[in-house]
Amino acid sequence: MANAFISGTGSFVPPRVVTNDDLAKDYGIDTNHDWIVQRTGIEARRYAEEGLGPSDLALPAAEMALKNAGLQKTDLDMIVFATLSPEHCFPGAGVYLQQKLGLCDGPNAKFVPALDVRNQCSGFLYGLATAGSMVKSGAAKHVLVVGAEVHSAALDLSTRGRTVSSLFGDGAGAVIVSRTDEDRGLRSFKLGADGRYADNLSQKVWDIRKRPFIPQNAEGIGQVAPEMMWAQMDGKVVFKNAVERMMGVLMEVMLADGVSGGDIDLFCFHQANLRINQYVQQHLGIPDDKVVHNIQRYGNTTAATIPLLLAEAEASGKLKRGMKVAMVAFGSGFTWGAQLCDW
């Protein structure tokens, strides 16, 4: 039976660094470095310049992943794009990336399907499971899976919004999922969701159930109330569910593969909050040398965190061929997932 493995990784973050002190100095937010670090572990994040969307950040990450896989763009059979911050309500970001990759141009144009995944922080793992299943079934040979976010345009960068706005940054990560006959690659995965908590972490912006779906003033101009425009989060509920679901789904995939924590060489946790990840790590008895973090430098890049971690770990030599990797994420929805991989 064919297997699916990650043949290439890539990443990109915008050059602009925004430190915790910058949030106070440049935006007037009543916060400070120590307050943010104590609660989240975040020291800085990246912000994209105006005019850039997630497909713009995804492009260099995708090109790097293709190069590292030794493939051309025309070798791709599918694009899976995970993001909560697409350029528009519709169409999705995947078709914009397809066009920017040049797949629609010239005599060798290849109009591959582009699937958008809207599972927020769990989006990359949902996309990875989809790509792996497509490759293993024979429906595709090479699938590009991207997680990319431009959060900075939709953050309440004021004291009112500091609890949420201090968490998020912009970035992109990409992997190529390819077919192989070798005994390696993506192993067991588990995905889940609990819609009872859908409103505990959300950014509603507009409500399609209403007429009109955005309130209008006398001139017909849409006006969005702050509680609809900006992300809202019940931090205590999110923290409690995150640690429970991440620990639970990790144990489920390890049990399904017949392995224990000691068999895992590297753990890649979604980078939402360093304190959540440390809590999970401590309760599962995972040593520090088996865990990689980058939230200190990038903040929460949502769907991009895990592919960013994979690309950085591989580039630094921390992630090597033959290692067993565990990936796990939890996010809005609530949604969660875990994936084991023999690198």
Q: Catalogue the active-site residues.
A: 121, 270, 300
Cα separation, 336 vs 225, in Å, equals 30
In angstroms, the CA 9 to CA 2 distance is 21
C-alpha to C-alpha distance for 261 and 333, rounded to whole angstroms: 27
Half-sphere exposure of 240 (CA within 13 A, CB side): 7
Whether 128 contacts 270, CB under 8 Å = no
Determine contact, residues 277/269, Cβ cutoff 8 Å: yes
Distance of CA 275 to the CA centre of its chain: 18
Classify each residue of 159-169 as buried b or exposed e, where b means 16 or more C-beta atoms within 10 Å of its C-beta: eebbbbbbbbb
